[in-house]
């Protein structure tokens, strides 16, 4: 079980500006397709799908997708650079995943095979590799 100071909580409307900033930072760092961060945050907060790890304020975030066939996808896992290394994201993902499984949902996530840190963390908290996916751009 992950240990970090603080606790998991659902994101609330007061977290909006922080989550929008972090969602944009996540997209930039991960090199994924651009998003309308405000729309994503608004929809996920309203749908109780955005979570934060709170340690005297939000220090990390993670979200889940809308359930499809009993499965949610873990997404937008992000901790600002100045808060990294304290286990906040690990604890956030682990606890959020437990909440989802307690609700009868299965959790999946996609991770970059070139990132040994996140891969080791996900395995340590109970995720298992099931497939490799290659991405291609059509240009």
User: Is residue 2 assigned to a domain?
Assistant: no
Rounded CA-CA distance 54/32 in Å is 26
CA torsion 17-13-61-3 (nearest 10°) is: 130
User: Is residue 134 assigned to a domain?
Assistant: no
User: Is residue 86 assigned to a domain?
Assistant: yes
Q: Which domain holds residue 20?
A: 7-124
First-to-last CA distance in the chain?
A: 44
Tell the residue number behind the tokens 């286990």, with chain if given. 87
What is the number of domains present in the chain? 1
Cβ(94)–Cβ(10) below 8 Å: no
User: Is residue 1 assigned to a domain?
Assistant: no
User: Is residue 32 assigned to a domain?
Assistant: yes
pTM of the model: 0.91
pLDDT 10s digits, 90-126: 999 999 999 999 999 999 998 887 888 888 899 999 9
Cβ(51)–Cβ(8) below 8 Å: yes
DSSP summary character for residue 42: H
pLDDT score of 117 = 85
pLDDT 10s digits, 72-82: 999 999 999 99
CATH code for position 45? 3.40.630.30
DSSP summary character for residue 68: B
User: Is residue 135 assigned to a domain?
Assistant: no
User: Is residue 26 assigned to a domain?
Assistant: yes
């Amino acid at each position: 079980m992950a240990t970090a100071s603080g606790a998991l909580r659902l994101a609330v409307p007061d977290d909006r500006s922080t989550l929008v900033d972090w969602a944009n930072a996540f997209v930039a760092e991960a090199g994924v397709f651009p998003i309308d961060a405000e729309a994503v945050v608004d929809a996920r907060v309203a749908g109780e799908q955005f979570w934060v790890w709170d340690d005297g304020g939000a220090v990390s975030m993670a979200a889940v997708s809308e359930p499809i066939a009993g499965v949610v996808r873990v997404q937008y896992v992000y901790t600002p650079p100045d808060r990294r290394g304290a286990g906040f994201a690990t604890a956030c993902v682990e606890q959020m995943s437990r909440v989802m499984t307690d609700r009868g949902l299965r959790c999946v996530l996609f991770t970059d095979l070139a990132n040994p840190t996140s891969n080791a963390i996900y395995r340590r908290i109970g995720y298992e590799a099931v497939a490799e996916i290659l991405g291609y751009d059509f240009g």
